[in-house]
Structure 1
Amino acid sequence: MAPTLPQRRLVASYAVILVFAALFLAPLALALTTSLKSPEEITRVLSLPLSLHVQNYGVAFAEMGRSFLNSLLITAPAVVLSILIGSIAGYPLAMTRGRGGKIAYFILLSGMLVPFQIVQIPLFFMIHAIGLYDTIPGMWLVHTAYAVPFCTFFMRNFFSSVPRSMYEAARIDGCTVTGYFWRLLMPASASGLAALAIIQSRAIWNDLLFAMTLTSSDSARPATVAIAGFTSGTQVEYGPLMAATIVSTLPVMLAYLAFQKSFVRGLLGGSGK
């Protein structure tokens, strides 16, 4: 029996999805196989390793040292602080209907248009002057400040998707404006918060420019700076470099896999609430 038109369309859709999945997974698979190759096998890019050269992971962990822990200590607080401030700022902007609220909203959004390279040198001197250069709290401050415009933009739009009738019902029941935010709006926005947390975690975890500018010692440098150290002007240690890259991607990948449903609902504006 010949397949019907809907069945053929379904098969074609799955085929397209599989092709795109293979394209996205190919770099990760290539990095994984390279991380398990000996130096003699590195030039055979598309071949599988003849034996598992796990020593690359030992070298990667030895070179990275404390930097992996530093990335965790930088990313987690910076994500929490930036989302918290962005949510508090986005709440009144979502509730305001007048022209003043829109003007304040667009002024705040202008912070998203400023490239880091423009403020790199003044930021270096500022952080150095307040005594936070080469410290983890200094990285919290910088990442939080730079992420607030985007977090405010994201949460303002998400809060706007919550029916206003919920706010009016809460006010009738005697709930204060602050109580509505903490007791009702934030729990109802869990999917948006999860989506924003994953986006911010990826951005902060993968940051290199802030890290190279504002850290200089093993006590504060994150994993991205340690990974960059595997390359030099004369030599690139491809095996340990790929091993360190694989290790550094695991936390963000696991976070996404754990919260992927909330992530998708959050990007859709909470349509699954």
Structure 2
Amino acid sequence: MTRTPILPYIIAIFMVVLFMAPLVVAAMTSLKSPSELTQVLHLPTELYFENYVRAWQQMGRTFINSLLITGPAVLFSILVGTMAAYPLAYMRGRGGKLVYFLLLTGMLVPFQIVQIPLFLIIRWLGLYDTIPGMWLVHTAYAVPFCTFFMRNFFATVPQSMYEAALIDGCSKFGFLWRLLIPASTAGLSALAIIQSRYIWNDLLFAITLTNSDQARPATAAIAGFASGLQVEYGPLMAATLISVVPVMLAFLLFQKAFVRGLLGGAGK
């Protein structure tokens, strides 16, 4: 009879507690009245849902904006990244490597460096404080990473599959849409989750390129609960938990595809 090692289970339980502790504290804080906020680790004596009411009143419209920004921005960035990654995955010679290197350098440019020029360009285009403007910025800034991710994923598809498709009369464009993309659904799912989390949690673009509830995402509204003189911890925690729900649901629904995608499509 073999003994089951308990050390891995102890480590797993410890990691669960470590990662869940901030979420549990935030949930308890969101249900406390202002007089109980100083008792951080104590359970609330009564459920104070007024925090959620205030949070939704301040961020309700911006929550919808985040949905309207994230969905199309994720779709556009993945589409452009996929179209750029396809030729780079099968291109041979120095030209392909040079283009790939130039795209990768875009991942090394922090937003703070281009913040002012980007603001001026968006305002000149008439897209300041608009949802389409946020689509454009998120798509442009995500192209290097999306291309890098999908190029490496496409490279795992056997070259013989590409050559056999061309011999059978399939065009290069047809190979992409009929064979390569269906074979890369795990990678696309993983990239979609990564991009949706990044775009949903973005704050710098939000505070730089929007200034009203017409296009401002939820992250900017949440930041409004903390001012230089006062921090409204109850509504702040409630708003944070509300904003976490969409990303958490997306990950739980597509977690298997997410893991397969990060492993390079080993399961396809």
Deviation of residue 24 (structure 1)? 0.8
Show the counterpart of 1:191. 186
Counterpart check, 1:226 vs 2:221 = yes
Q: What CA distance in whole angstroms lies between the structure 2 residues aligned with 1:83 and 1:22?
A: 34
Q: What CA distance in whole angstroms lies between the structure 2 residues aligned with 1:25 and 1:102?
A: 43
Aligned residues: 268
After superposition, residues 13-24 of structure 1 pair within 5 angstroms as 13-24=8-19
Counterpart check, 1:40 vs 2:35 = yes
Deviations 1:150-208 (A, max 9, x none): 00000000000111121122112211000000011001100000000000000000000
Out of 203, 213, 216, the residue aligned to residue 211 of structure 2 is: 216
Q: What CA distance in whole angstroms lies between the structure 2 residues aligned with 1:269 and 1:115?
A: 27
Q: What CA distance in whole angstroms lies between the structure 1 residues aligned with 2:93 and 2:241?
A: 49
The SS at the match of 2:175 is helix
Letter paired with 2:259? V
Deviation of residue 147 (structure 1)? 0.3
Q: What CA distance in whole angstroms lies between the structure 2 residues aligned with 1:79 and 1:157?
A: 19
Q: What CA distance in whole angstroms lies between the structure 2 residues aligned with 1:39 and 1:259?
A: 38
Show the counterpart of 2:235. 240
Deviation of residue 65 (structure 1)? 2.9
Letter paired with 1:106? F
Deviation of residue 124 (structure 1)? 0.5
Show the counterpart of 2:62. 67
The SS at the match of 2:236 is helix
The SS at the match of 1:66 is helix
Q: What CA distance in whole angstroms lies between the structure 2 residues aligned with 1:51 and 1:97?
A: 66
TM (norm. structure 1) is: 0.97
Show the counterpart of 2:116. 121
Letter paired with 2:163? E
Deviation of residue 97 (structure 1)? 2.4
Out of 47, 51, 66, the residue aligned to residue 46 of structure 2 is: 51
Deviations 1:182-235 (A, max 9, x none): 011001100000000000000000000000000001110000000001111111
Letter paired with 1:59? R
Q: What CA distance in whole angstroms lies between the structure 2 residues aligned with 1:15 and 1:154?
A: 34
Counterpart check, 1:110 vs 2:76 = no
After superposition, residues 81-120 of structure 1 pair within 5 angstroms as 81-120=76-115
Out of 255, 265, 273, the residue aligned to residue 260 of structure 2 is: 265
Q: What CA distance in whole angstroms lies between the structure 1 residues aligned with 2:190 and 2:118?
A: 29
Out of 138, 148, 170, the residue aligned to residue 153 of structure 1 is: 148
The SS at the match of 2:228 is coil
Aligned-residue identity in percent: 69
Q: What CA distance in whole angstroms lies between the structure 2 residues aligned with 1:103 and 1:81?
A: 24
The SS at the match of 2:256 is helix
Letter paired with 1:30? V
